[in-house]
Structure 1
Amino acid sequence: MKLLRRIGITFLSISLLAACSQSTSSDKSQEGEKIIVGATMLSMQNEFIVNVHDEMEKKAQELGVELITVDAERSALKQIEQVESFIAQKVDVIIMNPCEVEASSPAIAKALAAKIPIINVNSETSTKPSAFVGSDDVESAKIALKFIAEKLNGKGNILMMQGYMGQAAQIKREQGAKEILKDYPGLKIIAQQTAEWDRAKAMSLMENWIQSYGSQVNAVFAQNDEMGLGAVKALTAAGLKNKVIVVSIDAIPDALQAVKKGELDATVFQNAQQQGAKAIETAVKLAKGQPYDKATLIPFQLVTKENLAKFQ
């Protein structure tokens, strides 16, 4: 009888949370039970993603969570298989750093069908997860393009380096850039192409663009710092850096150093630490059947030489 009563109380408490909580595979509200979280990350070769994961690991240790991490290596198909493996392992919560908006979406559906909460961190999918922790990528591009527009007095030619095509950050950063350009008819994107978030590929792309456009280029908007730093290297080698404004996104340590040296004109700070920590905190709440925020949005901030000290 006491057992039935206890089960009834537990069921009632979960029902009351239904408005803001997905069903979980198990309720880890009792002390002493270790929460197991499976995490699939876009690419552990990407410095920003590694920074997010490092903070996830740190917060997991602090909260006594067992974190199992796998690298999707930029493959949405591999990511879906990894989520299927987590489902088979019966983890309590899954954290996914999606490879692509559409192609990674089946992983969300599979987790929810298995009644395992799933959190998207840093990037989005078209299928809605239990919760999202990250930042508004449209906002980041707006900040970057507004800086470029002001530096060029609203007139000039821009090159845009895109991230991995089909990923939320690539789509939304392009959207944000083009929204700002509507307000500045004197600014024009003369070329845009993916360098897949990669420094070496960005350097090669910039070298090709220098051959094609040369002195016509007034600014480069790189959708992340790795690509921005690649562009800076190519422009410097060609003796053009002092004539071209370069702005990128993430504020990774290398980018902050480049801003300090005057090589990168600005970067847009994305808070990897808060994204990683909040993802784990949200996972714990989901595992315990506690109220949680369905969307945690962490603001972006412009970083220039003038305010650099705040971010180092």
Structure 2
Amino acid sequence: MIPTMKSCSSRSRGRSHAEVTAMNHSFLRRMALLAAIGFCCLAGCAEEEPETVRIGVALYQQDDTFLSTIVQNLEQQAKERETADRKLNLNIADGRGSQAAQNEQIERFLKQGYDVVCVNIVDRTAAAVLIDKARASNVPLIFFNREPVEEDLMRWDKVFYVGSDAEQSGLLQGGIVRDVWKADRGLIDRNGDGLLQYVMLEGEPGHQDTLLRTENSIKALTKAWVPVEKLANDSANWQRGQAHTRMAQWLKQIGQQVEVVFANNDDMALGAIDACFEAGMSEDQLPFVVGVDATPPALEAIAEGTLKGTVRNNASAQASAMLDLACALSAGEGLNGIEGLKNGKYIRTEYAVVTPENLDEFLP
């Protein structure tokens, strides 16, 4: 309760008129200060809350090393982009390799009114169904890393793809081996027969990156007139453990004949190296192993000398492109200023070769 002037006066009996006047002035100043504080508080409550952009991110499998790198970049860059007026809220969902589970996760994002949904789709043939659901909810979709067919992307003008050119990655990976063969053939052709004997660890069957990396890595050699002999190939589904198993089987069957191991991604390349060490090989006895992605563990393996090269799949640039699109779409802005957007649908980042010679350029 605010004391009245009367109560102040009653407590001031016996004091001089000057003292009472001073007390009253002090009392009034305190009341004015309290009123000012109250006004400021009310004004603060009336300020608008910062805009929150809600972005759902649906992954085919979060324990994939490259995808986890994309997620780390998304989370870091989202924090860096926040301002007093705008917050970025990411919700990551792991489909664990199940399209049915991923469908449920995306439907939940749509029902909860997310501004944008980013999808690393489990089964690219399911894209049309997801696009139709998103269109019904008027929530833009950004596919990434796993590219739907063009026909599906054209179903709606608010569907996009962020990724890279798998053909380029295959050619660059093959180019690493080609350049070493041309410069110092003895580093690869250990039996001296003039043939490059290789095995191929492939990603998920039917995945466009699997097909294009497998085909073009060898094309880079044959176009340069490097004679090759395929000893074995099999799918290891992007997984280090599965690659370890496949390579262990090949070593028992064909042993020292393997001169080069092509792996469609770094995790499988590292699995092959694991199997070689488990079989008792020394570092000098390892075949020439190359991967794709330039994940942190792969860069460490290049520094150690066990992995001979990889091709960087630019996770940071892809995360940045996804956030560029998400922020523009949520704000209802035009997309003309989005860097790298082609045909109103695609943003493709460039690959880069990583070898011991230029490793320092790619280390954190």
TM-score, structure 1 as length reference: 0.83
The counterpart of 2:176, out of the listed 144, 147, 158, is 147
Query: Which residue of 1 is the match for residue 3 of structure 2?
Result: none
Query: Which residue of 1 is the match for residue 362 of structure 2?
Result: 311
The counterpart of 1:54, out of the listed 69, 72, 77, is 72
Counterpart amino acid of residue 278 in structure 2? A
Counterpart amino acid of residue 193 in structure 1? D
Distance 1:112 1:282, change over 3 A: same
Deviation at 1:243, TM superposition (A): 5.1
The counterpart of 2:164, out of the listed 135, 152, 164, is 135
Q: How many percent identity over aligned positions?
A: 30
**Structure 1 ranges of 4+ moved more than 6 A:** none
Deviation at 1:181, TM superposition (A): 4.9
1:219-258 paired onto structure 2 within 5 Å:
219-238=260-279, 239=281, 242=285, 244-258=287-301
Deviation at 1:248, TM superposition (A): 0.2
Deviation at 1:31, TM superposition (A): 9.0
SS at match of 1:236: helix
Rounded to whole Å, the distance in 2 between the matches of 1:65 and 1:89 is 16
Query: Which residue of 1 is the match for residue 62 of structure 2?
Result: 44
Query: Which residue of 2 is the match for residue 90 of structure 1?
Result: 113
SS at match of 1:289: coil
Indicate conservation of the 8 Å contact 2:273/2:286, yes or no. Answer: no
Counterpart amino acid of residue 160 in structure 1? M
Rounded to whole Å, the distance in 2 between the matches of 1:236 and 1:288 is 53
Unaligned runs of 5+ in 2: 1-47, 183-193, 336-340
Distance 1:166 1:31, change over 3 A: farther
Unaligned runs of 5+ in 1: 1-29
Indicate conservation of the 8 Å contact 1:80/1:106, yes or no. Answer: no
Residue 33 of structure 1 pairs with residue 51 of structure 2: yes
TM-score, structure 2 as length reference: 0.72
Query: Which residue of 2 is the match for residue 81 of structure 1?
Result: 104
The counterpart of 1:277, out of the listed 320, 331, 341, is 320
Matched residue pairs, number?
Answer: 283
Counterpart amino acid of residue 333 in structure 2? Q
Rounded to whole Å, the distance in 2 between the matches of 1:118 and 1:275 is 15
Specify the structure having the higher radius of gyration (Cα): 2
Structure of greater relative contact order (alpha carbons < 8 Å, 6+ residues apart): 1
Rounded to whole Å, the distance in 2 between the matches of 1:201 and 1:161 is 10
Rounded to whole Å, the distance in 2 between the matches of 1:108 and 1:307 is 41
Query: Which residue of 1 is the match for residue 231 of structure 2?
Result: 190
Rounded to whole Å, the distance in 1 between the matches of 2:95 and 2:69 is 16
Indicate conservation of the 8 Å contact 1:100/1:168, yes or no. Answer: no
Deviation at 1:156, TM superposition (A): 1.2
Deviation at 1:282, TM superposition (A): 0.9
CA RMSD of aligned residues (A): 2.2
Distance 1:208 1:240, change over 3 A: farther
Deviation at 1:77, TM superposition (A): 2.4
Rounded to whole Å, the distance in 1 between the matches of 2:72 and 2:241 is 24
The counterpart of 2:310, out of the listed 267, 274, 293, is 267
Deviation at 1:299, TM superposition (A): 0.8
Indicate conservation of the 8 Å contact 2:262/2:269, yes or no. Answer: yes
Rounded to whole Å, the distance in 2 between the matches of 1:53 and 1:35 is 17
